[in-house]
Homo-oligomer: A and B are copies of this chain.
Amino acid sequence: MMRLLALLELRSMMLYGCSILNGEARVGSGAAFAGFDPAAGVQLEPAYHSASTEDVELAAILADEAFAVYGKLSGKERGRFLREIAAGIDSAAVELVARAHAETALPEGRLKGETARTANQIRMFAQVVEEGSWIMARIDPALPDRTPLPRADIRSMLRPLGPVAVFGASNFPLAFSVAGGDTASALAAGNPVIVKAHAAHPGCSELVGQIISKSVKACGLPAGTFALLFDAGTEVGSALVQHSKIKAVGFTGSLRGGRALMDLAARRAEPIPCYMEMGSTNPVFVLPEALRSRGSEIASGLFASFTLGVGQMCTKPGLVFLPRNEDGDTFVTALAAKVAQSTSATMLTPGIAGNYAAGVASRGGQPEVETLAIGVSTSRDGCAAGIAALLQVSGADLLGHPELAEEVFGPGTLIVRYADGQGLVGLAAALEGQLTAAVHGSSADLAEAGDLMDILERKAGRLIVNGFPTGVEVCHAMVHGGPFPATSDIRTTSVGSQAIFRFARPVCYQDFPQACLPDELKNENPLGIWRTINGTMTRDAV
């Protein structure tokens, strides 16, 4: 069989159905697939061609070559490149939103917001690298007269890792996809990026890929600085994670997919850092006084949170711990009414909708679980409908059936009724790692909840008081991470400026002449950055 391997020049923003490799559109030789409109239930033009393992090889080699140049750019130069990408996304917002809407059925308003967030996130990283202090410069000057031994001149700073493989996520076709947080932070830190596009929004992926590719050209960077590879299956992703020139991986998706890639990476001859953001049920704890005084408000907020984006959020609250008392019954009744009156909405793909419906049905079928309410299906046959669902279980039964605490991706949540405060601590202690944990409590509730908060601090990357987990702020203090299985690396965040630290490593320079040192470490501090000199933070010269 003849293999199709044509290169096309990317002349304008249009869909070629192609991977982007070496700055050009490349018609892959692998299996063809197409975007799908889950609302209309129809395939979208054009056909996409899966990349081959030869494409992976070429992308990795080009990325490695590009690293020699791109990894040496100044923060200001990388900032310029990032701002070029952000401007490109802003300019193409109308096309991006339209295509993403067709491919995901997410509302246009949400996608407009997500597009702006994606561009702003890239600009945040631009600002971080232009300012420059993020590289953690440390200087311990020589002590030639120290006894018994002199001290050498020791300086260190963060440097990039090398080519990074990024896996686009299905549920945020812009903010966690081709130019999402993983790509932005990896590029900001100085690493070339190869994106494995998510097959559920190929058109949106290709448009964004073209924007990045054009920014690479506009800034005169090596073509290998960025590549975009399509695949209907898992071969491209597996090959990327195992490629010796790939030095780190960013992934957002399912626990099953993330764990499989983690395991592949761990078996490499040279294991590499892997950042998988996977499953989380984002438990919400409603404490007695807050329930009594604000129960109705909390129920409204909870309903909005677990149905936001048809429940297709990593931070969807999927477990709600509620007292087993009259206030709890009132809360449940109000929430059930909201769910029962809600109408269905289209999910990202028929597969996701099918998994969600199966998850709700199998839980509802367990004798310990009560199905309190199911929304109204208004969807026509054949589309990927997601119908809100409210289930309930006792705390004791949850402990007996820990599988009930696993994530069900979609607009459903499970109420867990608990008997008293002590029981609640035990329930929290039994949870797996989470991205978030939220507690609703009055001042008096919180004053008594120290043990609960201590447990939750071990369980989650972000703790929230009197709020809901959805809506992840992109800022300097954000932690969108947490213990396994929420993520593969408890020490990291995939959202916010600290995400950049995932793609950098400390390098130490001993007794380097001033002329050979990076600017960040020169005596006079030409970049004016914050540095640690002899253990003390300062912007002074040495």
Binding site for B on A (CB under 8 A): 68, 72, 113, 127-128, 131, 133, 138-140, 148-149, 151-152, 154-156, 159, 161-162, 247, 262-263, 266-267, 270-273, 432-433, 443, 446-447, 453-454, 457-458, 460-467, 471, 473, 475-479, 481, 483-485, 488-493, 497-498, 501, 504-513, 515-516, 530, 532, 534-535, 537
The answer to whether A508 and B535 touch across the interface, beta carbons within 8 angstroms, is no
| Complex Cα–Cα for A504 and B491 (A) | 7
Contact B273 A463 (CB under 8 A): no
* Contact B463 A535, beta carbon cutoff 8 Å: no
Let me know if B505 and A154 touch, CB within 8 A: no
Chosen A-B contacts, 7 in total, with CB atoms closer than 8 Å, are: A138-B477, A151-B475, A154-B473, A154-B477, A271-B488, A481-B506, A492-B506
Partner of A463, one of B161, B247, B510, B530: B510
CB contact between A68 and one of B72, B133, B139, B454 (< 8 Å): that residue = B454
Partner of A510, one of B162, B432, B465: B465
Q: A433-B270, A506-B498, A535-B127 are in contact. Are A464 and B151 (CB under 8 A)?
A: no
Q: Is A471's CB under 8 angstroms from B534's CB?
A: no
Given A475-B140, A535-B476, answer yes or no on A461-B508 (Cβ-Cβ < 8 Å).
Answer: yes
Tell me the smallest distance from the CB of A449 to a CB of chain B, in Å.
9
| A506 and B535 contacting across the interface, CB-CB below 8 Å | no
A537 touches B532 (CB 8 A): no
Tell me the nearest residue of chain B to A502, going by C-beta: B491
Enumerate chain B residues within 8 angstroms of A467, measured Cβ to Cβ. 152, 510-511
Identical copies in the complex? 2
A123 to chain B, nearest CB (A): 12
Residues of B within 8 A of A139 (CB): 477
A513 touches B443 (CB 8 A): yes
Chain B residues near A138: list those with CB within 8 A.
Answer: 476-477, 498
Q: Is the Cβ of A507 less than 8 Å from the Cβ of B463?
A: yes
Residues of B within 8 A of A534 (CB): 476
- When chains A and B are docked, how far (Å) is the Cα of A281 from the Cα of B453? 47
Partner among B154, B447, B507, B511 whose Cβ is within 8 Å of the Cβ of A461: B507
Q: Report how far A516 CA is from B442 CA in the complex, Å.
A: 12
A477-B155 in contact (CB<8A): yes
CA distance A273 to B491 in the complex (A): 8
In the complex formed, the residue of B with least CB distance to A458 is B162
Closest to A471 in B: B149
For A148, give the chain B residue with the smallest CB separation. Answer: B113
In order of increasing CB-CB distance, the 7 nearest A-B pairs are: A479-B508, A266-B266, A138-B477, A462-B508, A140-B475, A464-B510, A156-B477
Shortest distance from the beta carbon of A266 to any chain B beta carbon, whole Å = 4
Tell me the nearest residue of chain B to A443, going by C-beta.
Answer: B513
Contacts of A497 in B (CB 8 A): 535
Q: Is B473 touching A161 in the complex (CB atoms < 8 A)?
A: no
Q: Contact between B464 and A516 (Cβ–Cβ < 8 Å)?
A: no
How near does chain B come to A305, taking the closest CB pair, in angstroms? Answer: 13
Return the chain B residue nearest A156 by Cβ. B477
> A483 — which chain B residues lie within 8 A by C-beta?
270
Indicate if the CB atoms of A473 and B152 lie closer than 8 Å: yes
Complex: chain B residue closest to A531, CB-CB: B477
Q: Are B537 and A461 in contact (CB under 8 A)?
A: no
A498 to B156, CA, bound (A): 10
Residues of B within 8 A of A113 (CB): 148
Q: Which residues of B contact A462 (CB under 8 A)?
A: 507-510
- CA of A311 to CA of B127, assembled, Å: 47
| B477 near A140: Cβ-Cβ < 8 Å | yes
A151 partner residues in chain B, CB cutoff 8 A: 473, 475
Task: Say yes or no: A154-B511 contact (C-beta < 8 A), given A483-B270, A506-B493, A535-B127.
Answer: no
Would you call A516 and B458 a contact (CB within 8 A)? no
Inter-subunit contact B475/A154 (CB<8 Å):
yes
Give the residue of B266, B463, B537 whose beta carbon is less than 8 angstroms from that of A508. Answer: B463
Asked if residues B506 and A491 are in contact (CB atoms below 8 Å), the reply is: yes
Q: What chain B residues lie within 8 Å of A484 (beta carbons)?
A: 270-272
CB-CB under 8 A from A447, the residues of chain B are 515
Chain B residue nearest in CB terms to A446: B516
What's the nearest-Cβ distance from chain B to residue A59, in Å?
Answer: 19
B498-A464 in contact (CB<8A): no
Q: Which residue of B lies closest to A510 (CB)?
A: B464
> Quick one: given A477-B139, A477-B154, are A512 and B149 in contact (CB under 8 Å)?
no
Whole-angstrom CA separation of A140 from B476 in the bound complex: 7
In the complex, the chain B residue whose C-beta lies closest to that of A467 is B511
A453 touches B263 (CB 8 A): no
Q: Is the CB of B491 within 8 A of A156?
A: no
Point out which of A140, A152, A505 has the most chain B C-beta atoms below 10 A from its C-beta. Answer: A505
Which listed residue (B127, B262, B479, B485) contacts A507, Cβ 8 A?
B479
Residue picked from A155, A161, A537, most chain B C-beta under 10 Å: A537
